[in-house]
Amino acid sequence: MYLQPEDLERGARGEHIAVVARNVENMNQAIVEAQAEVESYLTARYDIRAEFAKTGRGRLPMVVKLVRDIALYNCFCIASPVSMPESRVKAYDNAIRYLKEVQAERASIDGLTRLTGPTGTSSYVSFGGNRKRKNQY
């Protein structure tokens, strides 16, 4: 796994996580779900699977933060969604907003390998046309 349960303690207090998640299986499930969510946003433009294969200090801090914020939100959703702190909801919303910005190419994550298509651009298809002509007077 990209994150370990110990990595979650850098985003919240360990005793809070232990109470909210209740066991390690819930923490692992929250981490797996967070990785899948981040991967769904970034897989079209970046080689995120290569990033998720890394461990320890080789990981990119921004991706770790995004996965951690989403995983902590998922921990609260599993155990007690009613008593979720506002700061946790805000951190989750910020992470999703940033992922959408990266997906739309209005932001980027330095260090991630960008996927290229046959023309050297992203794999998205651009569309459009010429200006409409005025053929009558």
pLDDT-derived band of residue 136, with 50, 70 and 90 as boundaries?
confident
- What is the average per-residue pLDDT within 37-55? 91
Q: Please give the average per-residue pLDDT across 29-53, as a whole number.
A: 91
Report CA Rg, the chain. 19
The answer for residues whose C-beta is within 8 angstroms of residue 75's C-beta and 6 or more apart is 8, 17, 20, 21, 26, 27, 30
The Cα–Cα gap between 84 and 69 comes to: 13
In the beta sheet, which residues pair with residue 46? 114
d(CA 47, CA 98): 17
Give the number of other Cβ atoms within 10 Å of residue 69's Cβ: 24
Per-residue pLDDT tens for 93-106? 999 999 999 988 88
Summarize the confidence of residues 12-17 as an average pLDDT. 64
Residue 83's pLDDT is what? 77
Enumerate the H helices of the chain as residue ranges: 14-21, 24-42, 48-52, 61-79, 86-103
pLDDT digits (tens, 9 = 90+) for 100-123: 999 888 898 998 888 876 434 555
pLDDT at 13 exceeding the cut of 80? no
